[in-house]
Chain A
């Protein structure tokens, strides 16, 4: 699957592999731990955020889940 930023697709693939493994093998099995795949996520995010700015995609300012105290800060 491609990223919105053409340059980010490889970083996304790396992160997705890490996340899918954590999700299936740890999270769904009830293991509680810290943030999954932190380093690859950070690298991927820097790339995606740049692409979103360049393409002027309005990702902020939409809060469609409504008020939710549990909602993490994005």
Chain B
């Protein structure tokens, strides 16, 4: 098991970052996410928005690893549960893979909050627990996955910035008018 965590600061207010986070895909930085579906969405009694989503991803394990593991499947499904609390200004997102679970589990948690001293800035804290099942390859694979988490986290931040810049610049209506 490997635990990984990081923190990132966005130079935008919480609302701007959250809007981008909710519509993060598609973006050029995360081409491995090939599909996103909402499975369930509802407001709870405290006015928080819960979303359960299914992400279709191409993990693209290296060929040598696939060969050793005898795994030819590259499409992996990830389930994600997010809670947006507009009162407290907090968005929490947890995700886990629901296929390839016999091989590996990646549980990730992200929290977006305004900076306590500066409302124009948003802090993202991000942590993941990576567990590779089996013995011989575990530590090698867990290290590889952890390095990939770091690379992907950076892509995720870039993606949020990209969404913000594109939506702010174009400022197009979401629906066709007329």
Contact = CB atoms under 8 A, between A and B. Distances in A.
B145 interface: no
Interface in B1-49: 15, 18-19, 22-23, 25-26, 34-49
Interface residues of B, number: 40
Contacts of B36: 1-3
B112 interface: no
**B-side binding surface: helix, strand, loop or mixed?**
strand
Nearest to A72: B42
Interface stretch (B61-69, B93-101, B119-127, B151-159): B93-101
B96 A48 contact: no
Contacts of A67: none
Nearest to A63: B81
B54 to A, nearest CB: 6
Interface of A: 1-4, 8, 12, 15-21, 23-24, 27-28, 30, 32, 35-36, 41, 44, 48, 52, 57-59, 62, 64-65, 70-72, 74
